[in-house]
């Protein structure tokens, strides 16, 4: 794949008496910051870019449906680079060992790959501030042998990815429990081992809780037996000499934590995963095979006509009707997209029970709602607001945004508004709002469920991405 370089307005710098002073027009927190030993940071500034070693996975870095790069780690490092005024160049490696080797050889300046801070790693590398806490979890499959304690691991086959912090944790635990055993696997990563457990090729494996949360959507029978010790901190690894870059990372992380950007990024990639429902997800997976094929061409057709992802339209339709053309709710909405009579008439739908008409009308209505939002609301928040409006009505979304503003939060960010929407059912709040009472918590759940279904469809109907370098 072609390299990609993101150009960003640079910061300026001046050196006085051996101290590097960074200035930036984007944030006061990057102004007049003294940094000692500036050699490594100056090297980055002289090149005008930072080279990042990462890996291809749903929690770190991958190519999205539109060809753009995505991932929690990717968005984080891009945010940092933008604040620093430098470009990025990503180098995708096949293993954790190769990622650290890239730091050792100078091929990469930063390792951003969901890396846990561990005592062994801290002897060789500097780490940036922790941006996420995770638990190492023993993961097995429902219905199969399920250990409940460390001692119980001796009775199952446990495969663990090599070069991971899981091995380091197991080695420490083995000093306490000598009979503890596992098989180290070199050619498979953690995500592949989770699939092996799901396919019943091995009893159990170990994975970080964020990786488990994402993969539960695709392999719903995976089950967390127990946590393997205390929580770990994830951070970016740096060369030992990069302490001035580490200092800038600390300032940056403090800023995005304070202004809510970190929470919004977390919600984008993990918000829907935190509401995992085993029964619902299993049922959805079954209906993807049995019901979706009857309507998938219609979803493609009308999604394309309205410039929507087909998988988003299909996910919303499943949430509305479970892909049942004759579905009806107690409130009288009907069909694949559960349209009211007035909405159906407005969208030119003569029969709400006709699957094609309903899907066509639902797609048009969704786009109409999205277009009613202020132009400055960006994606993916714009889509989340439109989904919520489809469920609860645009009037209540306007109310929720107004209330969000009054409470000192950002009305243009879904992460802020979704925390306020449930307040619309409380009298002390809704009595002062134009559109009154609303079941805002149901709207939040609606958006998260659609996001979950959409994510499953995107993963299952996309080709796996080959490893590549980009910038």
Q: For residue range 368-417, list pLDDT tens digits in order.
A: 999 999 999 999 999 999 999 999 999 999 999 999 999 999 999 999 99
Q: Which of 33-37, 70-74, 131-135, 338-342 has the lowest mean pLDDT?
A: 33-37
Cα 297 to Cα 310: distance, rounded to the nearest angstrom: 9
Nearest Cα to Cα of residue 297 among 347, 359, 237:
359
Q: Which of 63, 191, 320, 418 is catalytic?
A: 320
Does 309 score more than 90 pLDDT? yes
- Give the model confidence (pLDDT) of 225-236 as tens digits: 999 989 999 999
Q: How far apart are CA 422 and CA 443, in angstroms?
A: 8
pLDDT higher than threshold 90 for residue 48: no
CA distances from 108 to 51, 181, 429 (A): 5, 35, 52
Greater pLDDT, 462 or 94:
94
Give the whole-angstrom CA distance, residue 106 versus residue 1: 22
166 by DSSP, 3-state: which?
Answer: helix
Where does 278-460 sit in CATH, by number?
A: 1.10.530.10
Alpha-carbon distance 319 to 362, whole Å? 13
- If one compares 82 and 70, the residue with the highest pLDDT of the two is 82
- Supply the pLDDT for residue 70: 82
**pLDDT recorded at residue 73:** 92
pLDDT at 183: 94
How many Å separate Cα 430 from the centre of its chain? 32
Is 320 catalytic? The answer is yes
Size (the chain), residues: 471
Architecture of domain 136-230: 3-Layer(aba) Sandwich (3.40)
Percentage of the chain modeled with pLDDT above 90: 60
Average pLDDT over residues 23-50: 56
Would you place residue 64 in the very low, low, confident or very high pLDDT band (cuts 50, 70, 90)? low
Is pTM beyond 0.85? Reply is: no
Better-predicted residue by pLDDT, 281 or 37: 281
pLDDT over 90 (residue 323): yes
Q: Which residues contact 332 (CB under 8 A, 6 or more apart)?
A: 340, 341
What's the number of CA atoms in the CB half-sphere (13 Å) around residue 238? 21
- Mean pLDDT over residues 278-290, rounded? 90
Domain 12-128+234-270: which CATH number of 3.40.50.300, 3.20.20.70, 3.40.190.10, 3.30.590.20: 3.40.190.10
Average pLDDT of every residue of the chain:
85
Question: Does residue 464 have a pLDDT over 90?
Answer: no
Query: Measuring CA to CA, which residue among 19, 81, 79 is closest to residue 45?
Result: 81
- Average pLDDT estimate for 338-344: 93
Q: What is the mean pLDDT of residues 237-257?
A: 92
- Is 278-460 in the same CATH topology as 12-128+234-270? no
Element containing residue 440 per DSSP (H, E)? helix 440-460
Nearest to 93 by CA among 121, 123, 114: 114
- Between strands 204-208 and 158-161, the pairing is parallel
Task: Give the integer Cα–Cα distance in Å for 371 and 313.
Answer: 16
For the chain, give every domain's residue range: 12-128+234-270, 136-230, 278-460
Angle subtended at Cα 179 by Cα 177 and Cα 181, rounded to the nearest 5 degrees: 105
């Amino acid at each position: 794949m072609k390299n990609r370089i993101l150009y960003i307005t640079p910061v300026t710098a001046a050196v006085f008496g051996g101290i590097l002073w960074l200035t930036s027009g984007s944030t006061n927190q990057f102004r007049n910051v003294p940094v000692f030993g500036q050699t490594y940071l100056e090297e980055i500034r002289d090149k005008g870019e930072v080279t990042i070693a990462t890996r291809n996975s749903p929690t770190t870095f991958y190519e999205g449906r539109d060809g753009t790069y995505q991932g929690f780690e990717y968005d984080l490092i891009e945010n940092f680079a933008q604040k620093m005024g430098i470009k990025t160049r990503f180098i995708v490696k096949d293993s954790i060992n190769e990622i650290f080797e890239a730091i050792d050889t100078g091929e990469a300046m930063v390792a951003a790959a969901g890396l846990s801070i561990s005592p062994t790693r801290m002897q060789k590398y500097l780490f940036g501030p922790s941006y996420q806490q995770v638990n190492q979890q023993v993961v097995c499959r429902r219905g199969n042998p399920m250990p409940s304690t460390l001692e119980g691991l001796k009775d199952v086959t446990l495969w663990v990815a090599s070069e991971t912090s899981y091995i380091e944790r197991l080695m420490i635990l083995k000093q306490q429990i000598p009979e503890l055993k596992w098989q180290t696997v070199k050619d498979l990563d953690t995500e592949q081992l989770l699939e092996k457990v799901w396919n019943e090729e091995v009893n159990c494996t170990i994975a970080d809780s964020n990786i488990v949360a994402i993969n539960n959507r695709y392999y719903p029978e995976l089950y967390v037996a127990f946590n393997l010790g205390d929580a770990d901190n994830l951070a970016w690894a740096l060369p030992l000499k990069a302490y001035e870059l580490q200092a800038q990372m600390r300032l940056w992380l403090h800023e995005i934590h304070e202004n809510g950007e970190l929470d919004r990024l977390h919600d984008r990639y993990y918000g829907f995963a935190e509401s995992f429902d085993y029964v619902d997800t299993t049922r959805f997976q079954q209906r993807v095979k049995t019901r979706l094929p009857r309507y998938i061409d219609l979803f493609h057709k009308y999604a394309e006509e309205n410039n929507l992802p087909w998988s988003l339209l299909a996910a919303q339709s499943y949430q509305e009707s479970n892909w049942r053309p004759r579905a009806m709710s107690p409130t009288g909405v009907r069909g694949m997209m559960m349209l009211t009579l007035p909405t159906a008439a407005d969208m030119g739908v003569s029969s709400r029970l006709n699957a094609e008409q309903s899907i066509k009308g639902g797609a048009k209505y969704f786009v109409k709602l999205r277009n009613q939002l202020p132009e400055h609301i960006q994606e993916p928040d714009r889509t989340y607001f439109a989904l919520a409006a489809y469920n609860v009505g645009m009037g209540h979304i306007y109310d929720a945004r107004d209330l969000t503003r009054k409470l000192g939060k950002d009305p243009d960010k879904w992460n802020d508004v979704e925390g306020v929407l449930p307040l619309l059912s409380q009298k002390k709040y809704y009595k002062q709002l134009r559109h009154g009472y609303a079941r805002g918590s149901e709207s939040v759940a609606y958006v998260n469920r659609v996001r979950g279904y959409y994510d499953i469809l995107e993963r299952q109907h996309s080709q796996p991405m080959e490893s590549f370098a980009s910038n």
